[in-house]
Amino acid sequence: MKCRICGEKASVNMREHKLALCKEHYLEWVPAQTERSIKKYGLFKHDEKVLVAVSGGKDSLSLWDILKRLGYQVDGLYICLGIDEGIKYSVESQRLAEKFAFEHDLKLQVVDIQKEYGESIPQITRETHRGRIKPCSVCGLVKRHIMNRIARDNGYDVLATGHNLDDEAAVLFGNTLSWSGEYLLRQGPLLPSSLGLARKVKPVCRIYEREMLAYALLRGIEYIYEECPFSIGSTSIYYKELLNRLENNRPGAKLSFYLSFLEARKGGLFSEREKIQAELHSCSRCAQPTSAPGLCSFCRMMERINPISVDENEK
Amino acid sequence: MKCRICGEKASVNMREHKLALCKEHYLEWVPAQTERSIKKYGLFKHDEKVLVAVSGGKDSLSLWDILKRLGYQVDGLYICLGIDEGIKYSVESQRLAEKFAFEHDLKLQVVDIQKEYGESIPQITRETHRGRIKPCSVCGLVKRHIMNRIARDNGYDVLATGHNLDDEAAVLFGNTLSWSGEYLLRQGPLLPSSLGLARKVKPVCRIYEREMLAYALLRGIEYIYEECPFSIGSTSIYYKELLNRLENNRPGAKLSFYLSFLEARKGGLFSEREKIQAELHSCSRCAQPTSAPGLCSFCRMMERINPISVDENEK
């Protein structure tokens, strides 16, 4: 198999795009694809300040690398979740995020949730009903809250996450199984800013997980191999497996599913009524948006665990 | 496992409904569920004439049996497709449809497409581009045309088909993968009559395939076991396998996917705009509805194969 651009030996063959590329041209192709998405969906401009949420995994570190290579102003945010029972998942992923930042001369902000809120993710999940049933839901809630807070308090215009196509297709699949209008209308590469929060973007949402992996490997990015121990057996991993079966049978099916959804929505498939229902309020404690008046889900959860520390952190 | 109603030994255990029933109560439960769907979706009333499309398979014969037991006025239509290369698929399914009609004192109309149009399905598929690529598409086109014609010419109010939940969920899954607005807006238990055509209904659309199978077996209905030889490797069978994996992991997932779609659509999830785009015309030869002015797809296809016989049959 030869590189379509230079005819040298190909390093990566993408059946989904009927495209094979050598290492050099692959490492140009991924940023070019990312830039295309940034332009197509109007994610951000060169004069805006971007904060990348970095987990230490292949997707977020590669995204950070790509955005820097594309010349954007981009800092990192690492949230230490304290998931260190069994394997040292958080310790190791923080080390890798810091190493990447140091080696590339990038600014990384670290928030340690145990230090700030008195509890690690494993502790919160054990102490809450939500956490015992769905640990990933608690973790998502905490991460969203902190990302929003740091972006707002430090004047970032945009918050970028490393969600790849496989992530997005799995979420879309889940939202479709339940036909959740509210989620179907919100999911996408761009969530506009609202109530003082930074805009949220997913610049690599059109890039397959294995394409992101190949990028990290060929760029020599050192990332954490392990999946989060809490994610084992999660619904999203199950949906990914189902979609992989579809993809194996028909290369490109996952991309087509996601892109045709975005196209159909843009073309007016959905009624706009649903949008009105999703009107947001401002949390009475942290001022972040919430679907009902009063405290947001994060503040409600933290109040039950540790009423004082939340107040102190938010002031 | 015991019957929930009478406590006798259960014959059928439905994990999807958390319900086990003995033979006697299962054979009451399936018609009761069908009647619920008929009422809920307003499919038809007792004073309307129903035509059931009967293939000789478990679903359509069971549907015919159920509707008769529920006291509806219901005749059958068997379309002989001439699929008799290798196994005698059409010969055998016609024999079983006729046997069922005879034993239950029901009226069955038989249309033999080779006699009426000069060509069997295997011949048409070989002679057309569409057929060589997608034989099931040609067969569906021919069957729809004939069902519409017979229902219209013989004064039936309603045309009923034996599509079960697995069929409907697979079609919905396919329409969702491509986010086809036109199909998403039309798919459902009821397609209202238009341009003089009978209303189309799917009374067993909420009943799982294996529930229909259990009904046929427990009722002693003799049906054709073989799948149509053309359907092997078809997309719909592939989608069914994927959905079965989902169902095995979470009993009820398939039903929830289909019902939440119907609920969301009823609740206004989709924009009505798409409906306007799907405006229909009347075919200049057969007068059946078609998406563009001129000949419908069926008449276009048959004209290429055999220009004269179509005219003769339609007059």
Instruction: Report domain extents, chain B.
Output: 41-277, 278-315
Q: Which residues contact B266 (CB under 8 A, 6 or more apart)?
A: none
| pLDDT tens figures, B127-157 | 988 888 888 889 999 999 999 999 999 999 9
Q: How far is B104 from chain A (nearest CA, A)?
A: 40
Q: Tell me whether B245 touches chain A (CB under 8 Å).
A: yes
Which residues in chain A are contacts of B271 at CB distance < 8 A? 268-272
CATH 3.20.20.100 assigned to domain B41-277? The reply is: no
Return the pLDDT at A230: 83
Query: Which residue type, as a one-letter code, is found at position A290?
Result: T
- Could you give the 3-state DSSP secondary structure of residue A74? strand
Please report which confidence band the pLDDT of residue B311 belongs to, taking 50, 70 and 90 as the band edges: very low
Return the pLDDT at B135: 85
Which residues in chain A are contacts of B259 at CB distance < 8 A? none
Least confident range of A73-82, B10-19, B170-179, B281-290:
B281-290
Mean of the pLDDT values across residues B117-134? 89
- Whether residue B183 contacts residue B175, with contact meaning beta carbons closer than 8 Å, is answered with yes
- CA A215 – CA A210 distance, rounded (Å): 8
- CA A140 – CA A258 distance, rounded (Å): 22
Which residues in chain B are contacts of A267 at CB distance < 8 A? 181
Our CA dihedral for A173, A177, A180, A183, rounded to 10 degrees, sits at -10
Q: Which two tokens stand for residue B140?
A: 């569906």
Please report which confidence band the pLDDT of residue B315 belongs to, taking 50, 70 and 90 as the band edges: very low
Q: Which two tokens stand for residue A97?
A: 């995020």
Which residues in chain A are contacts of B248 at CB distance < 8 A? none
Q: b/e string for A50-62 if b means 16 or more Cβ within 10 A?
A: bbbbbbbbbbbbb
- pLDDT of B278 higher than 70: no
Closest CA to A89 of A220, A212, A219, A231: A231
**What are the phi and psi torsion angles at A281 (to 5°)?**
-115, 170
Nearest CA in chain B to A245: B242
* Run means of pLDDT, 10 residues per run, chain A, 315 residues: 96 96 98 98 97 97 98 97 88 96 98 92 89 88 95 96 97 95 92 89 98 98 90 86 93 97 94 64 89 90 71 47
Helix (H) or strand (E) holding A30: helix A23-40
Question: What ranges in B88-164 are assigned the alpha helix state H?
Answer: 89-103, 113-117, 121-127, 129-133, 135-153
**What are the phi and psi torsion angles at B274 (to 5°)?**
-60, -30
Nearest CA in chain A to B182: A269
CB-nearest partner of B177 from A238, A253, A271 = A253
Mean of the pLDDT values across residues B282-310? 83
Return the pLDDT at A130: 85
Burial of B254 (0-12, 13-18, 19+ CB in 10 A): buried
Nearest CA in chain B to A255: B177
- Whether residue B34 contacts residue B163, with contact meaning beta carbons closer than 8 Å, is answered with no
Contact A242 B238 (CB under 8 A): no
CB-nearest partner of B268 from A249, A260, A271 = A271
Which residues 170-189 of B are in CB contact (within 8 Å) with A?
Answer: 176-181, 184
Q: Which residues contact A167 (CB under 8 A, 6 or more apart)?
A: A59, A205, A209, A236
Closest CA to B267 of A261, A270, A185, A173: A270
The residue that leads in pLDDT, B38 or B84, is B38
- pLDDT of B247 higher than 60: yes
Q: Which two tokens stand for residue B78?
A: 């068997």
Contact A179 B253 (CB under 8 A): no
Nearest CA in chain A to B240: A246
Return the pLDDT at B201: 98
- Complex ipTM, two decimals? 0.85
- pLDDT of B68 higher than 50: yes
Give the range with max mean pLDDT: A194-198, B167-171, B281-285.
Answer: B167-171
- Could you give the 3-state DSSP secondary structure of residue A272? coil
Q: Tell me whether A259 touches chain B (CB under 8 Å).
A: no
- Whether residue A230 contacts residue A136, with contact meaning beta carbons closer than 8 Å, is answered with yes
Chain A contact probe: residue of B173, B177, B255, B276 with most A CBs at under 10 A: B177
Other beta carbons within 10 angstroms of residue B207's beta carbon come to 27
Measured CA angle at A114 (ends A111, A117), to 5 deg: 90
Q: Which residues contact A314 (CB under 8 A, 6 or more apart)?
A: A149, A285, A286, A299
Least confident range of A53-57, A234-238, B24-28, B208-212:
A234-238
- Report the predicted TM-score, pTM, of the whole model to 2 decimal places: 0.89
Least confident range of A226-230, B59-63, B183-187:
A226-230
Q: Tell me whether B312 touches chain A (CB under 8 Å).
A: no
Q: Which two tokens stand for residue A266?
A: 């843009």
- Tell which phi-psi region holds residue B82, choosing left (phi > 0), alpha (psi between -120 and 50) or beta: left
Strand blocks (E) in chain A = 12-14, 19-21, 49-54, 73-80, 108-112, 158-160, 190-191, 199-201, 281-282, 289-290
Query: Which residue type, as a one-letter code, is found at position B89?
Result: Y
Nearest CA in chain A to B169: A177
Average pLDDT, chain B: 92
Which residues in chain A are contacts of B268 at CB distance < 8 A? 271, 273-274
Nearest CA in chain A to B250: A235
Closest CA to A2 of A24, A20, A25, A28: A20
Q: Which residues contact B174 (CB under 8 A, 6 or more apart)?
A: B235, B236, B239
Contact B177 A263 (CB under 8 A): no
